[in-house]
Chains A and B, each alone.
Chain A
């Protein structure tokens, strides 16, 4: 760096400084000396420069007492560092002004205005001397030029009151007080008015003028920084706007210089560290992050600077135990001239997006797992019914080795024509109607040429605007179920057929059986009638037995017919009063009741849903039995009803012979009799018919009895709300 040092003798942008009688250095960011003015040429190397410049980062000025080894021995200086604005046209970082430390002898020829007068005049440096009251005692050419006032006129005027703005008397007191006390003041910047109305921004340094050990006045040395100041104002303004803008952005933003030192960061960035934005200026990544991470960031920055390429880097870290994802865009900061000043970085917290992406990815993975492992065929099609996607099972069903092979194909390309036609028609219908097709049973030809049955559901797929853009479908192989259903249906059909045949058979048999029976009975009776006088007692007995047998046979057939009819009746259940059914049965039993002198009583009987004819038959059989199996006493039969939650329980209680408990079940079986025909005639069908009727009405029938102590037959009929809706055929 020293080789590039520009000496004060050479005309350059700093020529203004050449005339200043103080040692001045212009420093780069690392402390390297970019320029020294003639007053500083004799200074030796100052080893503390680098440290001071680094210490200057983050502040405007720095004042330090420094000792310099000169040819005349060590000399103490006060080092004034002033940081240059980053946008200063000077490609430099700091200006160092060395003044003699107070108390030490003033450097020879350096403070005297007259000594430096010529140089200063030539350099355009303003030199204004005042007395202790601030009245102008000297006024050089540059001052004349800037103020537009000839020196002759300026002399004696109050320098601070008349020429400077905006601080005037305040400034005067401040400057003079400092100068009296410290021997020097500055640098400070104030505006100097000119007579023509414009003003110049002048950077001043004021030193005490001494005579005979006492302060007699001050000497202010200034140089015009108007241009610099105007630029800086504009920069400050735009910088201010930029800062306000950046501060309010949620993105984390930083600007680093080429060396990786933070130049500025916005509030959002600072907040992440729980600090203020200004805390970061002058720091590096190594101050903020673990060494390894800082290395990586430095490397990233370096690459961006080198390649001048904007990079987008996604970083993951764990903040307060939670995963956090940050997307960093790093871009080189390039000047108009093409130089790279540093790196600007914009962080966006993409944790939410990232987590959502992960969730989506998980969902997608689940969906894939589901699609590819379900045995059901899944497919997606566009509006024209072209496959856009199918799953593994569908590919297999179509004889494709890869689901992708189906993409773009039509059903007609993969299925027999007649099946494809039906699929297409269904799909076009559902797309037009925007309505799902659920559980449609359809055939499919396997790659081996066999048919299978599918239960297929197809639904329209809509885009975000609700327009149908295709269909999604799922098909399940239900061949097994269909087979079972078919087998079931066949069995049911067969059962119905055989039932019908049985009914037909029962009817025909009973009808056709009666004819020959009648003949047997009639003719044996005719035989007895015509020839009784020619037959002995045996002959007549035999004929009686034959007639009796035929008669009983006919009874059996009649009852069998009645039994089979209970099932064949296809009547509807109507609200039926049980008392009506009972009345009718009593009418039918009139002869038996009269003959036995039976007393029949009843409680309140409900109205139920049922078949009046069958319920009449039911009462007739039960009451008939109660009369038939009467004991020694006059028969008394009581019919009553009580209701449980869900059903009516009807009781038919008699005082007859009753039965042994072990026969309780058997009596309801067809043709089961407990008594000899001689004692109690009958076919053994009556209670079987009762059971069939009760069962058909959804109830149960049972008997409770002790032999010799009467019997009570109970039957139930479900309680159903009685209304038209329940008039269903049974």
Chain B
């Protein structure tokens, strides 16, 4: 039993996903949660790293609290992005949730080896999907204690 649930607060989410329909579905799920969390989207691996390292047009980007990372991405795939994040001292404390349709053991195992914070497979069923997204939201915004704010704060 949770005696003192931590107060809910809005968190910044970076979604790395190339499929607009998927992005929209995630947005819809977050919208239904009505938690007011902010969502930024990078549509491929290179863009995701540019965003995180504030390169080019992302020089003003804000550091996300949580990263939702798809594995199949154009240009640089999810594993490469994950590896780079976890090698970067300034980024590696950001929780990364791998979101993939793959149920392949190897995909799961390799993600954890690359220090993913968790691996979640996308359910086909909408209700279950919505539930998954809300769970992520709830966990990181309401249950987990995020690392102390970086230089952004």
Contact = CB atoms under 8 A, between A and B. Distances in A.
A383 B143 CA distance: 88
A449 B124 CA distance: 67
Interface in A505-550: 507, 511-512, 514-515, 517-519, 521-523, 525-526, 529, 547, 550
A514 B129 CA distance: 14
A519 B104 contact: no
Q: Which secondary structure dominates chain A's binding surface?
A: helix
Contacts of A137: none
A198 B59 CA distance: 156
A522 B126 contact: yes
Contacts of A529: 126
A517 B124 contact: yes
B104 A511 contact: yes
Contact of A525 (B101, B104, B127): B127
Given A518-B124, A526-B126, A511 B25 contact: no
A310 interface: no
A519 B123 CA distance: 11
Contact of B101 (A511, A523, A526): A511
Interface in B1-29: 19, 21-22, 25, 28
A551 interface: yes
Given A511-B72, A526-B28, A518 B127 contact: no
Contact of B125 (A507, A523, A551, A561): A551
Given A511-B72, A525-B127, A558 B22 contact: no
A507 B104 contact: yes
B122 A518 contact: yes
B103 interface: yes
B101 A514 contact: yes
A561 B105 CA distance: 12
B102 interface: yes
Nearest to A553: B124
A394 B122 CA distance: 72
Nearest to A569: B105
A526 B27 CA distance: 12
A554 interface: yes
Nearest to B129: A522
Nearest to B18: A515
A410 B116 CA distance: 70
Contacts of A558: 103
B124 A514 contact: yes
A469 to B, nearest CB: 63
Contacts of B22: 515, 518-519
A21 B103 CA distance: 150
Contacts of B125: 521-522, 525, 547, 551
A521 B124 contact: yes
Contacts of A521: 124-126
Interface in A543-580: 547, 550-551, 554, 558, 561
Interface string B39-77: 000000000000000000000000000000000100000
A550 B126 contact: no
Contact of B102 (A511, A525, A526, A551): A511
A518 B104 contact: no
Contact of B126 (A514, A525, A561): A525
A551 B129 CA distance: 13
Nearest to B101: A514
Contacts of A526: 25, 28, 126
B124 A551 contact: yes
Contacts of A551: 124-125
Nearest to A518: B124
Contacts of A507: 104
A517 B129 CA distance: 13
Interface in B98-124: 101-104, 122, 124
7 tightest A-B CB contacts, nearest first: A525-B126, A514-B101, A522-B126, A519-B21, A554-B124, A521-B124, A518-B124
16 contacts: A507-B104, A511-B102, A511-B104, A514-B101, A515-B22, A519-B19, A521-B124, A521-B126, A522-B124, A522-B126, A525-B127, A526-B25, A547-B125, A550-B124, A551-B125, A558-B103
